[in-house]
Structure 1
Amino acid sequence: MKVALLTDCYLPRLGGIEVQTHDLAAHLRARGHEVEVFTATPGPRGERHGVVRPVDGVPVHRMAVRLPFELPVNPLAPPEVRRRLAEGGFDVAHVHMGVVSPFATDMVRVALGLDLPAAITWHCLMDRSAPLFRVLGQARRWGARGAALSAVSSVAAANVAGVVGHDVPVHVFPNGIDVEHWRAPGPPGHAGAAGEAREAARPVRVVAAMRFAARKRPLAVLQVAHRARQLAPAGARMSLTLFGEGPERRRLEAYVHHHDLGDWVSLPGRVGREELRAAYWDSDVYLTPARLEAFGIAALEARTAGLPVVARRDTGVGDFVVDGVNGLLGDDDDELARALARLVRDEGLRRTIATTNRTQPPAQDWPAVAALAEREYARAAGP
């Protein structure tokens, strides 16, 4: 099968859609499919205007134009993409939608106009764009024309179904993860008596990782952790490491300084996958207070690494974290603070959840997700 993956954003930009689309391409190729990517993101050397360069063996069509801030937008792209899709012998188009996706939206129209089977996946919650989609009726028309609609979690799928109508099927097509890459090398507490003594002497290490953007609520990480430390017993020590970078950094640093948290809070910046994995393996709890979280790939990575996850109940994290089994879920920041304080003081609960997470891998392993992609493509093709 020859698959076109169409997305506003792609590498070298770094984010959820970019990395997931890249990894999906790799795993589809590993299953014998031919894959090409079409994107409005310039290449690492500024490639645009339809230049095709491979990224890890996958041809990437850079349909970008020069815009301020390298915005991934090109309203002039549809005719050229239409020509390339028509002449390229593609069997299916898989369009990846974000919060605002003008390029991807155009690509749906292009694919359906060519009668090319189309799978459309939302990587976001449609809360902000839902009124516009309802008024325009685009998503509903896409479903009516046979496009296979999906979203990355059950919460996000319900969000899409609320827009397109519940008579149009919306499947869950989750983000994927390399389970073996993130899995911790041994069960918790395997270091022997001396290791256990060292563990007991150090603080409970809480970790979080995200873009420092207001939508991700990095300030709430500090606020929840600060409140949890106040709620925990006096003898229960904890530390917080918040990985990431972005426009909210100054607000975070100001909060740490104003509340005198510098002795137990660290903001080391953005790190690569290997360093982040090592940090997860050396930590005790993962915290994410994001509200508009369609999936939560960082939380899935932490859960796969064996960490109990503290997160909101009404997000995509609930697809791989069962409350009391893989972590603790709450309805608001106050409940998250109480849940985190509980894990800080209850070593037995932490170890029980960590053991479960290390011995029971999540269902979102990449081979299973790639097989789901094939089923979505078959659904798009119809009987």
Structure 2
Amino acid sequence: MSDCYLPRLGGIEVQVADLVRTQREAGHDVEVATATRGEPLPGVHRIVARMPFDLPVHPFGVGHLTRRMVASRPDVVHVHAGAVSPFAWMGVRAAVRARLPVVVTVHSMWDPVTRGLYRLLRLATGWHRWGLVGTTVSNAAAAPIRAVAGRGVPVHVVSNGLDLTGWRPHDDHVTDPGGGPQVAGEPRGEVHIVAVGRLAPRKQPVRLLRLLREVRARVPASIPLRATVIGDGPARGSMERYLAKHAMTGWVSLPGRYSREQIAKVLESSDVFVAPAPRESFGIAALEARAAGLPVVARAQSGVADFVRHGTEGLLGRDLPGLAAAVSRLCTDTALRASIIAHNRANPPTAGSWPTVLSGFDTAYARAREARPRPSSPSR
């Protein structure tokens, strides 16, 4: 169950599609219900209605889904939800009405507004007593869900799944981070900083540019800096204006959206990866950079902290000044940068491996089948 699915391309859509493909390859019989319009696909049921702006929701979704679930009697219903996913929650209600085991995967970080909404829904519907089993993609994302759900809904961490083999650096390409401690005043080569992500206001990409500006002010002028921010989205215009206003266009570029292969090529020639979003539930791009061997700088309170330890795979900061200090340190301390790169190349990340992800979901399915929806389940 997912509000959005292919042909839409976004974080949840791609992750759910990859999970479906991998589970089928593992021998599971998987069918998909979605409110997203698109061409027919095997095992995909599009429950769509004419809605403003093609919103992925159906006004009578609960009834449609209940009838389909009663007819097919799946072993478990796996619902994928973002912060607010009305069609996905219709699927939860339908599955509970049909007395089917339900696993709900939350892919987003619940902010204070979202937490308040789910507290109200808990009072109004009692969803925490429906026998649900929850999963989310990181410990950071799990904490606010557990705080709202209480003991009634067990919440397990099952990371996103990724094939990281294509991100490992080629044996014939070795980034030279400088070789050793820098002698004061000695000029050295350019440091390339890279970030990847959708340029959406909720990601606060202009803050990334402020961070880069602060880094340039902290790092000695003798060290040339170059930054590449890969991605596209509605915040691109404001970012371009910021770069022009602060005379940063000479060293910061916004090349737009890149393919997986193009991103991997950029990472090969980079020195530091930055993931500054404060509410990053997982950090797929950061994990890809970590697999490519780059030191990763990210928020200590984000999902990236599940696979980046401070001083080992990268550096963590709690706020913008802390992140700027971390990036600046990696730009100037070549020995630290070299040690992190060597560690990351010698120790591929285990987070996101598909066998681990499939095992985690299999455990969640088993626990959901042990939990029976209770009499307080919704009747309409």
Whether TM exceeds 0.5 here: the answer is yes
Q: Which runs of 5+ in 1 are unaligned?
A: 1-5, 48-52, 194-199
Aligned partner of 2:51 in structure 1 is 67
* Paired amino acid for 2:359: A
Are the counterparts in 2 of residues 117 and 380 from structure 1 also a CA contact under 8 Å?
Answer: yes
Larger RCO, structure (CA 8 Å, separation 6 or more): 2
SS in 2 for 1:13: coil
Cα contact 1:308–1:354 (8 A) shared by 2: yes
Q: Is the 8 A contact 2:128 2:152 kept in 1?
A: no
Deviations 1:67-101 (A, max 9, x none): 33322122222222222222224111110110110
Aligned to 1:151: 136
Question: Structure 1 residue 248: deviation in Å?
Answer: 0.6
For 1:185 and 1:147, how far apart are their aligned partners in 2?
Answer: 44
Please tell me the residue identity of whatever aligns with 2:226.
S
Is 1:40–2:35 an aligned residue pair? yes
Aligned partners of 2:124, 2:191: CA distance in 1, in Å? 46
Separation of aligned partners in 1, 2:125 and 2:193: 43
Structure 1, residues 20-79: CA drift from partner, whole Å, max 9, x if none?
Answer: 111111111121101111111111xxx5xxxxx22xxx5221222233332212222222
Contact 1:311–1:317 (CA<8 Å) still a contact in 2?
A: yes
Residues 166 and 362 of structure 1: is their aligned pair in 2 closer, same or farther, counting only changes over 3 Å? farther
Residue 251 of structure 1 corresponds to: 238
Question: Aligned pair in 2 of structure 1 residues 190, 125: CA closer, same or farther (>3 Å)?
Answer: closer
Question: Which residue in the other structure is 2:251 paired with?
Answer: 264
Alignment match of 1:103 (pick from 83, 87, 90): 87
Aligned counterpart, 1:185: 170
The number of residue pairs the alignment matches comes to 360
CA deviation profile, 1:238-265 (whole Å, cap 9, x unmatched)? 1111011111111000011111111111
Task: Give how far 1:188 is off.
Answer: 6.9
Match of 1:112 in 2: 96
Deviations 1:267-323 (A, max 9, x none): 011112121122122211111110121111111111111111111111111111111
User: Which amino acid in structure 1 is aligned with residue 280 of structure 2?
Assistant: E
Structure 2 equivalent of residue 165 of structure 1: 150
Aligned-partner Cα distance in 2 for 1:365–1:125: 21
Residue in structure 1 matched with residue 181 of structure 2 by the alignment? none
Distance change >3 Å, CA 325–CA 135, structure 1 → 2 = same
Q: For 1:99, give the aligned amino acid.
A: A
Which residue of structure 2 aligns with residue 235 of structure 1?
Answer: 222
Mean Cα deviation higher: 165-174 or 257-266: 165-174
Structure with greater strand share of residues: 1
Instruction: Tell me the equivalent position of 1:15.
Output: 10
> Which residue is 1:3 aligned to?
none
Cα distance in 2 for residues equivalent to 1:202 and 1:64: 55
> 3-state DSSP class of the match of 1:263?
coil
Q: Percent identity?
A: 45
- Correspondence 1:373 to 2:361: yes
Letter of the 1:379 partner, please give it.
R
RMSD: 2.1
TM-superposition CA deviations, 1:330-381 (whole Å, max 9, x none):
0100111111011111122112111222222222211211111111111111
8 Å Cα contact 2:110/2:141 also seen in 1 = yes
Q: Which residue of 276, 282, 288 corresponds with 2:269?
A: 282
Q: How far 1:190 moved relative to its partner?
A: 7.1
